Amino acid sequence: MGRFSGFLVTLRQMGRPRLTTQYPKVKHDKPARVHGRHVLNRYEDGMEKCIGCELCAGVCPARCIYVRGADNPVDDPVSPGERYGFVYEINYLRCIHCDLCVEACPTEAITETKLFEFSFTNRADAIYTKNELVVDDDGRARRMPWELWLGGEDDHTSEWMRATSPSGSRAYENRVNWSGELGFGVRPPEHGQFPAAEGEEK
Amino acid sequence: MSTLVAIDPLLTGDVTWSVFLVVLIKVVVAFVILLVAVMLYIWAMRKVIADMQNRIGPNRAGPYGVLQTLADGIKLFFKEQSIPDSADRPVFRLAPYLSIMPAFLMFCVVPIGGTVSILGHVTYLQVFDPPIGALFILAMSGLGVYGVMLAGWSSGSKYPLLGSVRASAQLLSYEAAFGLAILGVLVLAGSLSTHEIVAQQHWTNAWSFATHWFWLKSFVAFAIFLIAATAETNHPPFDLVEAEQELVGGFNTEYTGIRFAIFFLAEFMNVITMSAIAVTLFLGGPSGPGLGFLSSTGTVNVWLMPIFWFTIKVLALLFATVWVRASLPRMRYDRLMSLGWKWLIEIAILWVLVTVTLQVASDANWNRPLSAVIAVGAAVIAYGVLFAAMPKAHETIEEIR
């Protein structure tokens, strides 16, 4: 065919399967450690995990977290300890999703979801307050009106935390070292994070 | 009525209101057909090109994105129209219509069906059938360049000007080859009327597509026609007029809104019209086998089948156009010129001479194989001499130095 072979190249494409995903309708599974927006987790009994220690705010390189702690009311405690997060705000116009807050958190209270499709139209919406961040009574992230996500995308809210906690080290493989959470209980450890390789350093 | 328009049996008698009505219906239907065809063609072109590039293509507006063109048109219609300060305002406003009118008018002489009866009047399924049909096609395709040229000139901007200069040079170059390719068919058909040309390619038996249609008898002219028509319509690989990488948008850079849409419409309308003309001249127009088990005078065989065959052939040519568009890169400008001037025009002239010789030979009962061999041999020798006399690339450089 020589110089006409280019015509076959284009014609051949017509029968090939398409790689395009019809995005808003169909979504690829996201990698285990995608950094989406945060949630504030609760224990299985419904108590909040956040103790208002402000370590997340201190470590945040973008300074987008604002936390104020307060003493737990004696008759109606919010969290199991002495203090709880009284004010908790994250400004998503500044957040860079580095997850240093997740690593800093001593109680696994703040973790990241895989949800990232927001289209807020004003600054007030961009600042998530505590009511918006705390998971609901089923342990699920709360859906804001400007967030676009489908059912099931909020299943893996704390996966990133489990991957980066000390249990992520190979010495702790398959050892659960994290607390249970509302709606999900104690999450199973990840599989296949370390492929079996001999002579590999721990 | 004078013989200038009187070939159509509709117009041979007295002009009554019903005759006027039939003409009006035909005009409106042709107009609508062409507009809808352009809409669907742009969508189909984008879909096919997407298929050929392993993409999906437009799929949001309507089923399979078929309304995408409509959505784009509506969007462009409601957009702001700007006119540059340096523009020649009346000409700038006029140019889009100069570009779209010839495209419409050219389609009017194309027979899209057989001879039918509307409101009791026997008539051809074409808007009008002048005895000078082929010349009319040439005139209109020549007029089309005015829109492009005036648009570029009146924009008062350098890139549109460059685009329109390219357009006029390219169209003038390929108009010659285009006309000569048509001439090959006219010699065979012995008529300029498009209806007559189609009538000569009528369907008699299963081999009519080779023996009666003109594409095989004048295959060289057919090839030249296709190349020249692609160049005439500024379709890739000859779309230097609107080479985005070099000229921003070409002649329509300064156009916005509905005026830009009209240029866009005209360009694709030209493609459809050119395909229709290629079908008329070379591929038998609406001729094709009817459904044998139905009455040969019934509605299906008189109305539907000719239109069906015409549509199929036009679609095949349009697909080929899109295929070329998806496959070939844009030509370099000097290559474009040398293809037109050094190859197409010479070959077209010689092919016309060969066709004329063969036609005269068959009319005068000469020895046909012998005259064919002599004619083709003489043409090859003539082209060899021409080619030897042409400056080659390195020779030109030597002379300049």
Whole-angstrom distance, CA of residue B144 vs CA of residue B151: 11
The pLDDT of residue A66: 93
Q: Please tell me which residue, B378 or B117, carries the higher pLDDT value.
A: B378
The CA distance from A18 to the nearest CA of chain B, in Å, is: 6
Asked if residue A67 is part of any domain, the answer here is: yes
What domain range includes position B23? 9-331
Per the confidence metrics, is the pTM higher than 0.95? no
For A18, which of B56, B326, B327 is closest by C-beta distance? B56
CB contact under 8 A, B51 and A7: no
Does A146 contact B at CB distance below 8 Å?
A: no
The CA distance from A92 to the nearest CA of chain B, in Å, is: 31
Asked if residue B340 is part of any domain, the answer here is: no
Q: Tokens 């570009």 correspond to what residue?
A: B99
Asked if residue B3 is part of any domain, the answer here is: no
What average pLDDT score do residues B116-143 get?
Answer: 83
Find, among A94, A96, A158, the residue nearest to A127 by Cα: A94
- CATH number of the domain within which A121 lies: 3.30.70.3270
Chain A residues whose beta carbon lies within 8 Å of the beta carbon of residue B53: 10, 13
Residues 6+ apart with CB under 8 A from B279: B110, B285, B310, B313, B314, B317
**For B58, which residue in chain A has the nearest alpha carbon?**
A22
Asked if residue A41 is part of any domain, the answer here is: yes
pLDDT in tens, B302-349: 788 888 888 999 999 999 999 988 888 888 888 888 888 888 888 888
CA count, 13 A, side-chain hemisphere, B44: 16
Indicate if the pLDDT at residue B127 is higher than 70. yes
For B54, which of A6, A7, A13 is closest by C-beta distance? A13
What average pLDDT score do residues B121-137 get?
Answer: 83
Indicate if the pLDDT at residue A193 is higher than 60. no
What domain range includes position A81? 27-172
Indicate if the pLDDT at residue A185 is higher than 70. yes
CB contact under 8 A, B323 and A7: yes
The pLDDT of residue A64: 92
**For A15, which residue in chain B has the nearest alpha carbon?**
B51
CB contact under 8 A, A10 and B52: yes
The pLDDT of residue A164: 60
Asked if residue A12 is part of any domain, the answer here is: no
The CA distance from B324 to the nearest CA of chain A, in Å, is: 7
Residues 6+ apart with CB under 8 A from A141: A37, A39, A113, A115, A135, A154, A157
CB contact under 8 A, A14 and B53: no
Asked if residue A150 is part of any domain, the answer here is: yes
The pLDDT of residue A71: 92
Asked if residue A196 is part of any domain, the answer here is: no
For B54, which of A6, A7, A18 is closest by C-beta distance? A18
Band of residue A168 on the pLDDT scale cut at 50, 70, 90: low
Long-range Cβ pairs for the range B10-14 (8 Å, 24+) = B10/B121, B10/B122, B10/B123, B10/B124
What average pLDDT score do residues A52-75 get?
Answer: 92
CB contact under 8 A, A13 and B56: no
Asked if residue B353 is part of any domain, the answer here is: no
- A122 to each of A39, A142, B123, B301, how far by Cα in Å? 21, 19, 66, 66
Whole-angstrom distance, CA of residue B181 vs CA of residue B194: 15
Q: What are phi and psi for residue B124, nearest 5 degrees?
A: -85, 150
Q: Is the dihedral of CA B46, B51, B55, B58 positive or negative?
A: positive
Of all residues in chain B, what percent carry a pLDDT higher than 70? 95
Find, among B74, B27, B76, the residue nearest to B256 by Cα: B76
Asked if residue B387 is part of any domain, the answer here is: no
**For B324, which residue in chain A has the nearest alpha carbon?**
A7
**For B59, which residue in chain A has the nearest alpha carbon?**
A22
Residues 6+ apart with CB under 8 A from A28: A21
Name the burial class of residue A102, with classes exposed (0-12), middle (13-18) and buried (19+) by CB atoms within 10 angstroms of its CB: buried
Band of residue A190 on the pLDDT scale cut at 50, 70, 90: low
Q: List the 16-35 stretch of A: residues with Cβ below 8 A of B.
A: 16, 18-20, 22
Work out how many domains chain A is built from and give that number.
Answer: 1
pLDDT in tens, B219-251: 888 999 999 988 888 888 888 777 767 777 778
Asked if residue B364 is part of any domain, the answer here is: no
What average pLDDT score do residues B81-102 get?
Answer: 87
**For A8, which residue in chain B has the nearest alpha carbon?**
B327
Asked if residue B145 is part of any domain, the answer here is: yes
The pLDDT of residue B124: 80
What average pLDDT score do residues A65-72 get?
Answer: 92
Asked if residue A16 is part of any domain, the answer here is: no
Chain A residues whose beta carbon lies within 8 Å of the beta carbon of residue B55: 18, 20
The pLDDT of residue B3: 46
Chain A residues whose beta carbon lies within 8 Å of the beta carbon of residue B59: 22
The first and second tokens of residue B302, run together, are 């008189």
CA count, 13 A, side-chain hemisphere, A65: 31
What average pLDDT score do residues A112-131 get?
Answer: 89
Q: Average pLDDT over chain A, rounded to whole?
A: 82
Chain A residues whose beta carbon lies within 8 Å of the beta carbon of residue B328: 6
Band of residue A1 on the pLDDT scale cut at 50, 70, 90: low
Indicate if the pLDDT at residue A196 is higher than 60. no
Q: Please tell me which residue, A170 or B114, carries the higher pLDDT value.
A: B114
Band of residue B6 on the pLDDT scale cut at 50, 70, 90: very low
Chain B residues whose beta carbon lies within 8 Å of the beta carbon of residue A9: 327
Band of residue A160 on the pLDDT scale cut at 50, 70, 90: low
Asked if residue B378 is part of any domain, the answer here is: no
Work out how many domains chain B is built from and give that number.
Answer: 1
Does A46 contact B at CB distance below 8 Å?
A: no
